């Protein structure tokens, strides 16, 4: 489970408690830690363990961080180590642009390392066997409408498949 919502670490706070800022994603991505040291094992009654990679403490700008070669390597390492990876991302108003960014970069940069990075990300995001959006909303009118809009935008503006949607509190 990766807490990649840089503006809001409610997931980490829910699992570890308020005020806890562990080493995490940004520290590994910038070379300040290893994946093995940054992943926190949290006991969970139904599943045994939840492996959490929190946001981290290294100061980064999200667009630069997610476009970096070290972050691409980090996600390849995570993919190789774990069978299922869930990434808590930004709110509905931002996620479509972030998911579509690789396509925009690919249009601008046709050769070199950046082109190779975006090709790998585009391939990964477009493969429904590898990537799917799980949309969760609270059972209220506005969040419900935003969820429907997000589902439509994911279908028309990105190559990411919608795996499932539910209201908060549902079981999967």
Q: pLDDT digit string (tens) for 93-104?
A: 677 877 777 777
Q: Average pLDDT for residues 163-170, to the nearest whole number?
A: 60
Is 88 in a helix, a strand, or coil?
Answer: strand
Please give the Cα distance from 70 to 137 (Å, whole number): 32
Please give the average per-residue pLDDT across 17-28, as a whole number.
Answer: 87
What is the average pLDDT value for the chain, to the nearest integer? 81
Instruction: Give the helix/strand (H/E) hosting 79.
Output: helix 69-81
**Count of all residues that appear for the chain in the document:** 172
3-class SS of residue 108: helix
Q: How far apart are CA 44 and CA 103, in angstroms?
A: 38
Reported as a single tens digit per residue, the pLDDT across 39-62 is 999 988 877 888 999 999 998 887
Q: Is the pLDDT of residue 166 over 70?
A: no
Whole-angstrom distance, CA of residue 139 vs CA of residue 111: 46
Q: How confident is the model at residue 35 (pLDDT cuts 50, 70, 90)?
A: very high
Which segments within the chain are labelled E, that is strand?
A: 2-3, 40-44, 48-52, 87-88, 132-137, 161-167
Least-confidence region, from 10-14, 88-92, 165-169: 165-169
């Amino acid at each position: 489970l990766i807490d990649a919502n840089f503006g809001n670490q409610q997931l980490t706070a829910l699992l570890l408690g308020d005020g806890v800022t562990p080493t995490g994603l940004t520290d590994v991505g910038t070379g300040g830690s290893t994946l093995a040291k940054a992943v926190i094992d949290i006991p969970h009654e139904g599943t045994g363990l939840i492996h959490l990679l929190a946001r981290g403490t290294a100061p980064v700008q999200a667009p630069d961080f997610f476009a970096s070669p070290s972050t691409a390597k980090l996600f390849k390492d995570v993919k190789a180590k774990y069978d299922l990876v869930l990434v808590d991302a930004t709110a509905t108003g931002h996620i479509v642009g972030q998911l579509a960014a690789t396509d925009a970069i690919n249009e601008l940069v046709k050769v070199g390392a950046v082109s190779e990075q975006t090709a790998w990300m585009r391939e990964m995001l477009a493969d429904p066997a590898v990537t799917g959006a799980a949309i969760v909303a609270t059972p209220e009118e506005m969040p419900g409408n935003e969820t429907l809009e997000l589902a439509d935008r994911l279908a028309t503006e990105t190559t990411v498949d919608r795996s499932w949607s539910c209201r908060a509190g549902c079981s999967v």
